[in-house]
Amino acid sequence: MRVLVTGGAGFIGSHVVEQLAAGGATVAVLDDLSRGSLANLPPGVSLYHGDIRDKVFVRETLEHFRPRVVVHQAAQVDVRTSLDDPARDAAVNIEGTIHLLEACRRTGVEKVIYASSAAVYGDPLYLPVDEEHPVRPLAGYGISKHTVEHYLQVYRALYGLDYTVLRYANVYGPRQDATGEGGVVAVFTRRLLRGEAPCIFGDGEQTRDFVFVGDVAAANLAAIKRGSGRVLNVSTGRATSVNDLFQLLQQITGSKIKARYCPPRPGDIRHSYLSCDLAQKNLGWQARTDLVTGLKLTVEWYRYNLSPDRSG
């Protein structure tokens, strides 16, 4: 099977590529390398280097590679950027995806697996958040992610382009960006390994649903043959407080450093975790990696990649 992974040199996308290649698929990657790295790609995977906002580039990539399935991970993923520069967020996440869908329908792609986000739900009205929860995004990022879901429905109805939407909880694991607005696991891990005190915003009792990147990649692979026309949460169904997360990382890293408590960030959601029942039913998928195991794998990766021999 020929599969194109957009954003395939990035954090989540590279794990999808890795699992696809290990399973015998012929894989190519479309990526502008703005956040991804060639080092993340396994041998034998072709890279089409360019911007998803470039309509001609996207069309020519699909015409050349002729994938049967497209796994769409490429995105502007920073919530703060979506607030500061909503036009850029929309250009990448909405307009870029339209270019991709147009190219898909013109080149005979059978299915698109789309990486959406729990950000579409906004501040939860109830917990756990299931797929019937009202969509109430609090930033442009959630708006742009949800907008694409509607385009997918239209392209399926008009052109027969199948899809599965995967709404990710808080994904963590090796290769995640630990700078700027990176995920909290990556940020905490990097600072603890460098002997620096991380900042916990608010009282640290806010909760999130942390799902390991390898499990998220497995959900994408499961969606290639299952979950037609469905919108599915990809999560553990369990809530973990930021304080508990930090204590686990202290234990795993062996660090005695204490966190600094900083003022709460405006707009931060207090509690969030997602029901994963429909993913189990429709994909035969569930998260297999418990939090402690996932954190150990993550710390091991950062410890190696932050060593003087690796980081210079």
Q: What is the mean pLDDT of residues 179-186?
A: 80
> Is residue 311 pLDDT above 60, yes or no?
no
- The reported pTM is 0.96
Domains and CATH numbers, the chain: 2-171+212-234 (3.40.50.720), 173-208+238-274+289-311 (3.90.25.10)
Q: Is the pLDDT of residue 80 over 70?
A: yes
What's the average model confidence in pLDDT over 193-206?
97
Find all residues with CB under 8 Å of 231, minimum gap 6, and list them.
Answer: 116, 131, 149, 165, 167
Dihedral, CA atoms, 173, 35, 232, 151, nearest 10 degrees? 180
128 cis-preceded (ω within 30 degrees of 0): yes
> Could you give the maximum distance between any two Cα atoms of the chain, in Å?
58
Residue 19 has pLDDT above 70, yes or no: yes
Sort residue 160 into left (φ over 0), alpha (ψ -120 to 50) or beta: left
- pLDDT of res. 182: 64
- Report whether pLDDT(122) > 80: yes
Is the pLDDT at 265 greater than 90, yes or no? Answer: no
Q: How do residues 222-253 score in pLDDT, each as one tens digit?
A: 999 999 999 999 999 999 999 999 999 999 99
The answer to whether residue 312 scores a pLDDT higher than 50 is: no
Nearest residue to 68 via CA among 160, 17, 2, 5: 2
Give pLDDT, residue 278: 98
Rounded mean pLDDT, 12-19? 98
List, by residue number, the catalytic residues: 141
pLDDT higher than threshold 70 for residue 181: no
- Above 80 in pLDDT, residue 2? yes
Whether 159 has a pLDDT exceeding 70, the answer reads yes
At 32-64, the pLDDT tens digits run 999 999 999 999 999 999 999 999 999 999 999
Percent of the chain beyond pLDDT 90? 92
